[in-house]
Structure 1
Amino acid sequence: MPDRRRRTPRAPEGDLPAAYSSGWPTLPAPAAGVRRRDRRGRGLRGPLIPAHLPAARTRAERFDEIVLATVERLERSWAKQLAGTEFAVEDVPPSDPAPWEHRRGVPMGRYFPADGPLAHRIVVYRRPVEERAVDRDEIAEIVRTVVVEQVAHMLGRSPEEIDPGFVEGP
């Protein structure tokens, strides 16, 4: 197939700078992160949603806020018992489930007892919760269920004692 690009006229070899020695002009490499185009006169593209608006948060940030709100609500009633307990969010559970989790499917949360210098820790797994939920309200309900169940396990109490409005979850 013939080359359809137009060649620039060639000057004698001795008269051209090194960049033009092949007959094709070369452009300098663009600076990193510099926008060079303003298509159709509308200006350079900007962010769709400014970073200070709530809609600019990621799913992970919204999930963290749901877990934090759930924990804060529980701490109002159980502050003394939950003092020093760490709450965390991880994307997915580790690939080696605990022996009691083997037949129950993918865990949505896990309680790790204190071990030496490490404090009690409750972890909520974001992706399994999001996969089971239909919308944001259901995510909040599942998170509430998971956190209440794990706190109840940690304190050796029933979930209904921890949260009187507790409803058995997924």
Structure 2
Amino acid sequence: MPVQSPRNRRNRGPRGPLLPPGTPRHRTASQRFDAAVVDAYTPLLDAYPEQLRNLDIAVDTVPRMRLRPDMTVFPEEIVADGPVPLGRVIPAGVDTLGRPTRARIVVFRKPVEQRCTGIDERTELLHRILTRLVAAHLNMDPADIDPRFHD
């Protein structure tokens, strides 16, 4: 009698990642999301290299902002879906130790992923979020950055 591996119970085929951790092409879900953010940001950076030269881009798991419960309208530098922030622009300033900081765009991974059912939908949502945030940073209309932009 052949011995079945515990990953092939009920003959459904192997379970688990196709590429085991430790192999060069293995990526976690957060690494795949980070790469998708960079892919969505690259055309914007290519279109405005001088204006975005001093702008950093980051991904955070969840929003870490103090929001009032009665807040229904967010400022331009925050992109939200209803009451949930999806990304924001943090202007250049000074940190708690008195060191200067660069302006930064932060995209919130969990809220974005929860609103997407597939890779194409995630790509489109990231494009919309980043277009609005770059427009807010450059003090432009999103339609000026991308004529196909729709809200």
TM-score higher than 0.5 here? yes
Give the share of equivalent positions with the same residue, in percent.
36
Aligned mates of 1:135, 1:102 — CA distance in 2: 30
Which residue is equivalent to 2:37?
Answer: 67
Question: What SS does the aligned partner of 1:79 have?
Answer: coil
Task: Give TM-score, length-normalised by structure 1.
Answer: 0.65
TM-score by length of 2: 0.72
Which is richer in helix?
1
Among 92, 101, 105, the alignment partner of 1:114 is 92
1:82 lines up with 2:65 in the alignment: no
The alpha-carbon distance between structure 1 residues 59 and 77, as it changes in their structure 2 partners (threshold 3 A), is same
**Secondary structure of 1:110's match?**
strand
Cα deviation digits, residues 46-95 of structure 1 (max 9, x gap): x7524234xx3221111111110111111111001001101000010015
SS at match of 1:111: strand
Which stretches in structure 2 are left out of the alignment for 5+ residues?
A: 6-16, 73-81, 95-99
- The SS at the match of 1:148 is helix
Matches of residues 1-170 of structure 1 in structure 2 within 5 Å? 40=3, 48-50=18-20, 51-53=23-25, 56-97=26-67, 102-103=71-72, 104-116=82-94, 117-168=100-151
* More strand as a share of residues: 2
1:151 maps to a residue whose letter is V
Q: Secondary structure at the match of 2:105?
A: strand
Q: Secondary structure at the match of 2:93?
A: coil
CA RMSD between the two structures: 2.5
Equivalent residue letter for 1:144: H
Unpaired segments of 5 or more residues in structure 1? Answer: 1-39
Residue identity in the other structure for 1:52: P
Please state whether the residue corresponding to 1:82 is helix, strand or coil.
coil
Between structure 1 and structure 2, the one with the greater Rg is 1
Which AA in structure 2 matches 1:70?
A: A
Deviation for aligned residue 1:41: 9.8
Aligned positions, number: 123
User: 3-state DSSP class of the match of 2:107?
Assistant: strand
Q: Which amino acid aligns with 1:88?
A: A
Q: For residue 59 of structure 1, what is the amino acid of its counterpart?
A: A
